[in-house]
Amino acid sequence: MNRNSAISEIKGVGAKTEELFHKIGVYTVGDILLHYPRTYIQYPEIKHVDEVTEGEMAAVLGRIVKTPVVRKVRTMQITVTMIGELNVSMELVWFRMPYMKNNLKSGCSYIFYGKVQRKNGRLVMEQSVVYSQEQYAAMEQVFLPVYGLTGGLSNNLVTKTVRSALQDDNLFRDYLPSAMREKYQLCEYNYAIRQIHFPSDMETLITARKRLVFDEFFLFILSMQYQKEKREKEPNGFEFSEDGFVEELIGKLPYELTKAQRKALGDVLRDMQSETVMQRLIQGDVGSGKTIIAFLAMAFAAHNGYQSAIMAPTEVLARQHYETYQKLCEDFGLHIPVVLLTGSMTARQKRRAYEALEVYSNAMIIGTHALIQEKAVYQNLALVITDEQHRFGVKQRETFAEKGYEPHVLVMSATPIPRTLAIIIYGDLDISVVDEVPAKRLPIKNCVVNQGYRPKAYAFIENEVKNGHQAYVICPLVEESENIEAENVTDYAKKLRAELPPEIQLGVLHGQMKPEQKNRIMEQYVNNEIQILISTTVVEVGVNVPNATVMMIENAERFGLAQLHQLRGRVGRGDAQSYCIMINCTDNRDSAKRLDILNKSNDGFKIASEDLKLRGPGDFFGIRQSGDMEFSLADIYQDASVLQQASEEVTALLQADPELVSQEHENLRHYLEMFFEERRSKLNL
């Protein structure tokens, strides 16, 4: 068995389990080892019944004071007993586990691990796990991994599979030069992989993570720079002439462009007329008006007789862009064909779209990944605009080139990354920053409150809906987790349904839904058929819903400020006053301090910089903070210093050995080639 062996080669992984692993992106032995835990649990210190508090996950040492009994309620068997000491007692309940009656003896002491609740005035623990004191002592210091899952795949099964895969001593060759490892005190790679899954203690966990974070940044930057070095800037094969056309369109806009918008647009138009092909990033805060820049650039291409394409991250957003572009063409009196191409279109609709690509040499083409599929053949493609969420990188650009074109490439990003980090992350692109918000936009009103504010928040949302508006409610989890104390969309929707009038329509959205389900829910929300959308962070990159005026975020302390700011950007897109309510479910002072930054500012770049200052090493449990930028562990804010180190090492390495031909870099070169090949196969290119 090696890292490229199918996951089914691991003992205990049959055909059905293999399919479940495929759903979380695990196909090989290497994949399961790189499927890192998203957090860990450590069993708490043992308490007595009189020391526990309602709502905590506790390990309670107690003596059975009541002989366990099994009751039958309808078709379900319920086992009940009692533990206690002095005048304090706790009821223990197990559902569908009648065998517990024989496992527990009256008068004996055990440790019960579970969530403490209060029902009918008494302390209750349901479905607790039972340990002897010796068993619990052996587990108390251990960090237990908690993995990202899908329906039917348990945490125990993933843990068992990872342990089996790790039985092979050397699945990975350490490809980093020893001098580099020594310089930054980085541990050996196989050791890091073992410790990230099953850390011996906090110190080894931090050590393992440091190595793997460095690797993620190092490989990302090296792959980008290595190919950049091998690729000269392509000559511009398109002729663009500026005859006042774009200025004429700007004059017809019902509003004035900001100075930042004008500068970014000027950079784009200048690049399109330069001697080499454009490769530019426009980095603009949420609501800064990047879409109109994209439209004007595409109109400029059409005016000069060329095709242009914009690739959106979701089908709903692609369709919304399509409708927006059609209306803008109508408002400007432009006779430019606007073509939509998405994966869910019927065969007939796709055929018509393909025909349009052949017939209309100046078409504006809008779509999803379907734009780079084999059947999409372009006649005159001069400009490609893409959203960063696709990480539309070198390989996708080469796909267009292989069709016989080398178009100008414009990447749009709403992630508020400080410029110093952006230069590293987007090292192969020139950067324009749109750091102003259009004047007509009202600033979003923010508040950070505790859980006691929920009834007022529900009443406020109800009032906004009655006034014709809509709202988002964000929860960090899809469904209840025994390991993580946080709200989940499944139960929250039921809770909210009970609080609101029946005429208010609720919708649920999360990443485990099929694409067609997500598209349907989002379309209903866009059309105001759903007034309140309860969702995970999948709406972070969503559609434009100007009618939405309230963003309520549960467990706000579990998100990074950059992500919270992105979520908040879903509202405030219309003329009405918008609001962001952040529910802080912890008493932690550091969390309150961080959330206060967001509370006092709507400036994404300022928030990102402040967030960077506040974060400290070791703050890596819970939800990752920096979106989907190809990193499993690394966080560009929290790990900014490591990012800088990796960038410096890549620069020095390629200066000394541009082709990585020295014997010292042999392992690195082989790994890099494998890295490219794996990325190619995952992109289906």
CATH number at 119 reads 2.40.50.140
User: Is 182 inside any structural domain?
Assistant: no
Q: Are residues 317 and 425 in the same domain?
A: yes
Q: Are residues 499 and 572 in the same domain?
A: yes
Q: Are residues 404 and 533 in the same domain?
A: no
User: Is 648 inside any structural domain?
Assistant: no
Q: Are residues 591 and 563 in the same domain?
A: yes
Say if residue 401's pLDDT is above 60.
no
8 A C-beta contact, residue 535 and residue 472 = yes
Q: What angle do CA 507, 513, 517 make, to 5 degrees?
A: 60
Bridge partners for 368 per DSSP: none
Q: Are residues 306 and 428 in the same domain?
A: yes
User: Is 319 inside any structural domain?
Assistant: yes
- Across 496-510, average pLDDT: 93
Range of the domain at 336: 245-434
Q: Are residues 423 and 536 in the same domain?
A: no
User: Is 495 inside any structural domain?
Assistant: yes
Q: Are residues 460 and 563 in the same domain?
A: yes
Give me the pLDDT at residue 678, please. 62
Q: How far apart are CA 208 and CA 195, in angstroms?
A: 6
8 A C-beta contact, residue 580 and residue 354 = no
User: Is 259 inside any structural domain?
Assistant: yes
Give me the pLDDT at residue 663, please. 82
User: Is 637 inside any structural domain?
Assistant: no
Q: Are residues 468 and 595 in the same domain?
A: yes
DSSP code for 28? B
**Confidence tier at 625 by pLDDT (50, 70, 90):** very low
**Structural domains of the chain, count:** 3
Q: Are residues 425 and 458 in the same domain?
A: no
State how beta strands 470-474 and 532-535 pair. parallel
> Could you report the per-residue pLDDT of 211-257, keeping only the tens digit for each?
999 999 998 888 777 666 555 668 898 999 888 999 999 999 988 99
Give me the pLDDT at residue 643, please. 87
Which of residues 562, 586, 601 is at a domain's end? 601
Which of residues 86, 121, 139 is at a domain's end? 139
**Confidence tier at 428 by pLDDT (50, 70, 90):** low
- Top pLDDT among 556 and 515 is at 556
User: Is 191 inside any structural domain?
Assistant: no
Give me the pLDDT at residue 484, please. 59
Q: Are residues 407 and 529 in the same domain?
A: no
Give me the pLDDT at residue 540, please. 59
**Confidence tier at 617 by pLDDT (50, 70, 90):** very low
> Could you report the per-residue pLDDT of 138-191, keeping only the tens digit for each?
887 788 899 988 888 999 899 999 999 998 766 788 889 888 999 999 999 999
Give me the pLDDT at residue 403, please. 64
User: Is 262 inside any structural domain?
Assistant: yes
Q: Comparing 98-102, 195-199, 476-480, 657-661, which segment has the lowest mean pLDDT?
A: 476-480
User: Which CATH number covers residue 325?
Assistant: 3.40.50.300
Say if residue 47's pLDDT is above 80.
yes
- The proportion of the chain whose per-residue pLDDT surpasses 90, expressed as a percent, equals 47
- Top pLDDT among 579 and 516 is at 579
8 A C-beta contact, residue 217 and residue 646 = yes
Mind giving me the DSSP string for 363-400? Answer: -EEEESGGGGSTT---SSEEEEEEEGGG---HHHHHHH
Q: Are residues 355 and 287 in the same domain?
A: yes
Q: Are residues 393 and 524 in the same domain?
A: no
From the number of C-beta atoms within 10 Å of its C-beta (0-12, 13-18, 19+), residue 59 rates as: buried
Q: Comparing 303-307, 512-516, 524-528, which segment has the lowest mean pLDDT?
A: 512-516
Which of residues 404, 434, 464 is at a domain's end? 434
